[in-house]
Amino acid sequence: MEVKPKSACETCAQFNADGLKKLGVNTSDFDFVVALAGNPNTGKSTVFNAMTGLRQHTGNWPGKTVTRAEGAFEYNNEKFKLVDLPGTYSLLSTSEDEEVARNFILFGKPSVTVIVADASRLERNLNLVLQILEITNNAVLCLNLMDEAERNNLDIDTRTLARDLGIPVVPTSARYNRGIPELIQTISELANGKIVCKPHRIKNIPKNIEQALEKLSAEIKQVYPDIPNSRWIALRLLEGDRNIIETLKTGEFV
Amino acid sequence: MKNNKIDHIISLSNDLRWQMGDEFHDSLAEGIYADAAEIVKASVHKKDEKGAFRLDAKIDKIITSRVWGFPLMFLILAMVLWLTIVGANYPSAMLSGILLDTIHPALKAMASSIGMPWWLDGFLIDGVYLAVAWVIAVMLPPMAIFFPLFTLLEDFGYLPRVAFNLDHLFKLSGAHGKQALTMSMGFGCNAAGIVATRIIDSPRERLIAIITNNFSLCNGRWPTQILIATIFVGALVPASYSGVLSLAAVIGIAVLGMIFMFLVSWGLSRTVLKGEVSTFNLELPPYRPPRFWKTIYTSIIDRTLIVLWRAIVFAAPAGAVIWLISNIFIGDVSVAAWLIDSLDGFGFLLGLNGVILVAYIVAIPANEIVIPTILMLTVLVTGITAGSGAGVMFELDSVSATGDILRAGGWTLLTAINLMLFSLLHNPCSTTIYTIYKETKSVKWTVVASVLPVIMGFVVTFLVAQVWRLIA
């Protein structure tokens, strides 16, 4: 079969924007599941609304979204189901909203995880980003609230950031719909394997912990050769997470 | 084979955990932050040191300061209320002109022209229709103002600052600081406030927040407070000050509600819901300029209309019930008159009267219809000629005419004050009760949350009445 070379236009997010259909709550027969994670009050729900055409309540306070919201969009004849997770600062503690987010990323097996981060508070947000990157291989950083970062005179080099994190980075201002077409294009490319991530793994860990992690992770890989996040599971085992011990026995995450 | 290996992994992890000791969690967290710092250093640059961060910090310094935090909070609350009260008058008058003065007579005329029997006409048009029309005319305008104003404050980022200011008080009362957020939602609608308690992780603190949410004066009760305060409290001083005094009385009741919320939270956390106060991080988000028109649009579509629809659904049958109890006779007295008569003694003890208690029973589905029900029943009892007949709700054109009817029904300043107190302290409306059940999945706690405020209402109004009568 002959493969036509693509014109520059066809690879552009704006060109493909007419292939976008916002499907609202109609989440039947989807091709891909996309999870939306991030710190509280970074505009996850606004990003969610911009992509699905839904009107989830948004508000300027952490904790606005208390349950999992689902919506869908269609892009170039592929259906994406979007799951808006409650905002969390970390996946390392045991409160209930974190449980929802952590379990979904680990066991819900989303095709793509969109991590929404506040561009003007990037360092604090990276805590969660780096944890999620331990769990999943397919992620994109949605650098939201770029308008605020600009107002705060912050200059963010998204290319360097993408290289350091090993995942695509898309700057957005979801409130004004800026960057959303690019984000959708990136999600689609990730889902279809056109972009392959090489996510950052936490480096600054004391040697003894690193060795323990490697030892455990190697053992886990022997039993479950196909899982991408043996290191995360090792981390949780060292933490003594009962949930993980249970699922390790049942093999639920495979 | 596989199981053996997994057991091996688990025991290995236990050994390793033992070897590493306590620092594991901290070293991991430090490692993540060190990585984050390196990454940010490479890709984020600050163009100059002066930025909008400074402005946010300056605003925060005032809004969350020990000295100005509380006064500013009350000032903002007063402003929102004042805009709601003043702004709602005009559209309310217009709506009641259309729905009650034009459409209602037209419906009556139509009913008689097609020869509808009097009881069906009364039941449908005087009962169901009027209740719905009243709720729309009285509720829609204040909601259409209050909810968008509240949403604008929310979008701006003020709510977490309120939580910050109140955190200390909630902690003292053994409750969760985030209860300040659910309390604020309750000022709009208690059912919404109770759903919002999901942000509280600890089940104990969440139950406290659910049970005490009713002490936030909700949207259905603000109009009652405002009307009664205007008629009876505002009249105590010369006309030029009466607006300020009635506003102060309404805010006083709202603040009293907050005090009760703290006291009951404190009581619960010392007795049946004992436990430690959990700590949490409260991030103060940056101030964001709200997107004005979008906020107005979504708050009207998503909040106002939904709450209004709920009120209509509950008001329609309530209107029917009012008409029925006034028109069904046992011997030669109507059911309503009989009920009022038998509750009058108890009502007197509480500084209220039988009419008010009957109205609160009828109005369990929706707090909004308390005042029209009271007016209608008062007319029924006193036999003065106003309104449109037995069991017909009506609205009087002027506040003073409403006051005249109530005074004819034997109301005094004590009745008014105790009605305001009882409006604050009584059972939640049926929607809220149902929401409490859905959220707690427990009949026991639903009953506690519903009955506790009524008992408190009885006790407080009884005490006020006795003291008042001793002094006066």
Residue in A61, A89, A126 closest to B160 by CB:
A61
pLDDT band of A159, cuts 50, 70, 90: very high
Nearest residue of chain A to residue B195 (CA atoms): A66
Q: How far is A17 from chain B (nearest CA, A)?
A: 23
The winner for highest mean pLDDT among A12-16, A242-246, B177-181, B275-279 is B177-181
A-chain residues within 8 Å CB-CB of B34? 204
Give start and end residues of each alpha helix (H) in B271-304. Answer: 292-298
Query: For residue range A212-233, what is the model confidence (pLDDT) as tens digits?
Result: 888 888 888 888 877 778 888 8
* Residue B13 touches partner A, C-beta closer than 8 Å: yes
| B404: amino acid identity, one letter | D
What are the start-end ranges of the E strands in chain A? Answer: 20-24, 32-38, 69-75, 78-84, 112-118, 139-144, 154-156, 169-171
* Residue A100 touches partner B, C-beta closer than 8 Å: no
Give start and end residues of each alpha helix (H) in B64-103. Answer: 69-96
Q: Are B152 and B295 in contact (CB under 8 A)?
A: yes
* Residue B222, CA distances (Å) to B35, B186, B235, B378, B448 in order: 53, 12, 19, 21, 24
* Residue B42 touches partner A, C-beta closer than 8 Å: yes
DSSP class per residue in A59-96: -SSTT---S-EEEEEEETTEEEEEEEPPP-S-SSS--H
Closest to B326 measured CA to CA, from B281, B392, B404, B394: B392
pLDDT greater than 50 at residue A1: no
Determine the pLDDT at residue A91.
Answer: 83
The token duo for B469 is 């009568």
Buried b (16+ CB within 10 A) or exposed e, B121-137: bbbbbbbbbbbbbbbbb
B364-383 residues touching A, CB cutoff 8 A = none
Determine the pLDDT at residue A128.
Answer: 92
**Contact flag B286-A126 (C-beta cutoff 8 Å):** no
pLDDT greater than 90 at residue A70: no
Determine the pLDDT at residue A129.
Answer: 94
**Contact flag A206-B31 (C-beta cutoff 8 Å):** yes
| A54-60 contact pairs (CB < 8 A, 24+) | A54/A22, A54/A24, A54/A25, A55/B298, A55/B301, A55/B302, A56/A84, A57/B298, A57/B302, A58/B155, A59/B151, A59/B154, A59/B155, A59/B159, A60/B154, A60/B155, A60/B156, A60/B157, A60/B159, A60/B160, A60/B285, A60/B288
Mean pLDDT of each 10-residue bin along chain B, 472 residues long: 77 81 79 89 77 72 87 86 78 84 88 86 82 77 80 83 87 88 83 82 89 90 84 85 84 93 93 79 76 78 73 78 84 87 92 92 80 79 59 57 82 94 92 89 94 95 95 83
- Quick check: pTM over 0.80? no
The token duo for B33 is 């932050």
* Residue B179 touches partner A, C-beta closer than 8 Å: no
| ipTM of model | 0.82
**Contact flag B283-A130 (C-beta cutoff 8 Å):** no
**Contact flag B20-A208 (C-beta cutoff 8 Å):** yes
Which residues are CB-contacts of B59 (< 8 A; sequence separation ≥ 6)? Answer: B287
Which residues are CB-contacts of A125 (< 8 A; sequence separation ≥ 6)? Answer: A38, A39, A42, A117, A118
The token duo for B430 is 């049926």
* Residue A6 touches partner B, C-beta closer than 8 Å: no
* Residue B278 touches partner A, C-beta closer than 8 Å: no
* Residue A248 touches partner B, C-beta closer than 8 Å: yes
The winner for highest mean pLDDT among A47-51, A160-164, A225-229, B99-103 is A160-164
Nearest residue of chain B to residue A93 (CA atoms): B25
The token duo for B325 is 């109890």
Give start and end residues of each alpha helix (H) in B97-176. Answer: 104-113, 118-121, 130-156, 159-172
